[in-house]
Amino acid sequence: MNSKQVNPKLSGSYAVKPEVPVGITAIGMYVPPKELSNTDFANIRLSEEEEAFFGADPNFATNKRRFADGEKAMDMAVKAAKDALETYQIDPASIDLVLFTSSCKDLSRLAPPIANYVQTQIGAVNANSFNIDCGFNGWLPAVTTGASFIASGFYKKVLVVTGETIVGSMDNRDCKTLLMGDGAGAVVLEKVAEGDGLLSFHLMSSECESAAGFRVTGGCGFDNKWEIKPYMYIAPESFGRDLPALEQYVPHSVKESLNVISKTSQDVDCFVFGQQSFGLNYIWSKNLNVEYNKVHDTIAKHACMKCANIPVSLCDAVRNGRIKKGDIVAFGDQGANWSISSAVFKWCI
């Protein structure tokens, strides 16, 4: 990977140590049934630079991802929300607020907010709902927003949910689509016992227009038909230009979240990153001075699902016994242009 010198302090924002304990009391996920392998993307030819980047992943040749073939992000979000509520036996009528975040764009549903649809479909008849738009890095800002509403006393129970249809939002002649997958995740937030739940968080951001985003433009979907729609783009030469910054930003943010509660990376039982790629996960763990076995990695199974990365990986870790009650869990994520986030939780379910 890269070794270019980068100032990891993207902005002067500071880490926060919440005074009111708010934790995750339910978690759910949904991934579409259709699975794609690298060989399904027949039009992609990798350059030498791209071969080197993907070659950092020892499982790259056999990596899989799910494809939301005909499924919408908002319907997958409903399935993830229902999974969380049913698994943990939570009455939807007890939800006070539904927050939805996603990076993918659906021109047929720019308004009203998808959060309203999720709220109605799950039967959260007593809830308010709205979307939070923070691009690729929407999950942790949405979770900290929900926790803030609870800590303020305004609401008691908040559902944070996402759905991503990234594979269908990329020009599938571009190698970057090999990083992507589709899925949805959800958590319920409530006030918890003192010392549990969200211990700290850190958010920082700065505009970087050249990095990545969504544009309404032409491209080829997975059916190889040319069409105009919102396509995710990653600027040319981004591997060489942007990776040195990404390698530094997320570890810096995680350290800020740990420092404010007088902890170090050695105190963390499990790290769950944004699963952008194996190479970035590995560098982030290295820059945090922890062995990679402390990182819960779902890239080989699900690839990068943007806003759905953390909740799906977290749910996978909990269901497989990788994260247990009482564990210290650290999260780190990034969005291009730039938006960086981290948080530390004491797991309480």
User: For the CA atoms of the chain, what is the radius of gyration?
Assistant: 19
For residue 119, being part of any structural domain is answered with: yes
pLDDT-based confidence at residue 42 (cuts at 50, 70, 90): low
Q: Are residues 240 and 115 in the same domain?
A: no
Q: Are residues 80 and 27 in the same domain?
A: yes
pLDDT greater at residue 217 or residue 237 = 217
- pLDDT, tens digit (0-9, with 9 covering 90-100), for 127-138: 999 999 999 999
Q: Are residues 216 and 133 in the same domain?
A: no
**To the nearest whole percent, how much of the chain has pLDDT over 90?**
71
Q: Are residues 180 and 264 in the same domain?
A: no
Q: Is the pLDDT of residue 56 over 60?
A: yes
Q: Are residues 174 and 281 in the same domain?
A: no
Mean pLDDT along residues 26-55:
86
Q: How many domains does the chain have?
A: 2
**To the nearest whole percent, how much of the chain has pLDDT over 70?**
98
According to the model, what pLDDT value does residue 54 have? 83
For residue 313, being part of any structural domain is answered with: yes
Q: Which two tokens stand for residue 283?
A: 């560098």
Q: Are residues 97 and 204 in the same domain?
A: no
Last residue of a domain, one of 178, 195, 212: 195
- Residue tagged 């938006």 (tokens): 339
Q: Are residues 60 and 104 in the same domain?
A: yes
- Residue-level length of the chain: 349
pLDDT-based confidence at residue 238 (cuts at 50, 70, 90): confident
pLDDT-based confidence at residue 170 (cuts at 50, 70, 90): confident
Q: Which ranges of 183-308 would DSSP assign to H, the alpha helix?
A: 238-259, 278-287, 299-302
Q: Are residues 211 and 298 in the same domain?
A: yes
Q: Are residues 178 and 229 in the same domain?
A: no
**Longest pairwise C-alpha distance within the chain:** 55
**Lowest mean pLDDT segment, chosen from 106-120, 235-249, 290-304, 326-340:** 235-249
pLDDT-based confidence at residue 4 (cuts at 50, 70, 90): low
Last residue of a domain, one of 195, 223, 242: 195
Across the chain, mean pLDDT equals: 92
Mean pLDDT along residues 81-104:
97
Last residue of a domain, one of 149, 178, 195: 195
Q: Is the pLDDT of residue 207 over 60?
A: yes
Range of the domain at 124: 22-195
For residue 4, being part of any structural domain is answered with: no
Q: Is the pLDDT of residue 2 over 50?
A: no
Query: Strand 64-66 and strand 157-164: pairing?
Result: unpaired
Q: Is the pLDDT of residue 246 over 50?
A: yes
CA–CA gap between residue 346 and residue 199 (Å, rounded): 7
Residue 257: give its domain's CATH number.
Answer: 3.40.47.10
For residue 189, being part of any structural domain is answered with: yes
pLDDT-based confidence at residue 94 (cuts at 50, 70, 90): very high
pLDDT greater at residue 52 or residue 292 = 292
Mean pLDDT along residues 150-161:
98
For residue 6, being part of any structural domain is answered with: no
Mean pLDDT along residues 319-336:
96
108-145 burial by CB neighbour count: b if 16+ within 10 A, else e?
A: eeeeebbbbbbbebbebeebbbebbebbbbbbbbbbbb
Q: Are residues 211 and 115 in the same domain?
A: no
3-state secondary structure at position 233: strand
- Residue tagged 């899925």 (tokens): 183
For residue 3, being part of any structural domain is answered with: no
- Whose CA is closest to 11, among 252, 141, 245, 205? 205
CA–CA gap between residue 127 and residue 159 (Å, rounded): 10
For residue 223, being part of any structural domain is answered with: yes
SS3 track for 13-79: CCCECCCCCEEEEEEEEECCCCEEEHHHCCCCCCCHHHHHHHCCCCCHHHCEEECCCCCCHHHHHHH
| pTM reported for the whole predicted model | 0.95
175-184 burial by CB neighbour count: b if 16+ within 10 A, else e?
A: bbbbbbbbbb
Q: Are residues 130 and 244 in the same domain?
A: no
**Lowest mean pLDDT segment, chosen from 36-50, 51-65, 261-275, 302-316:** 36-50
Q: Are residues 92 and 138 in the same domain?
A: yes
Query: Strand 226-234 and strand 197-205: pairing?
Result: unpaired
According to the model, what pLDDT value does residue 173 have? 83
For residue 264, being part of any structural domain is answered with: yes
- Residue tagged 């819960």 (tokens): 296
According to the model, what pLDDT value does residue 119 have? 98
Chain CA centroid to CA 16, Å: 20
Query: Strand 183-191 and strand 157-164: pairing?
Result: antiparallel
| Residues forming beta bridges with residue 296, ordered by sequence position | none
Which residues are CB-neighbours of 286 under 8 A, at least 6 positions away? none
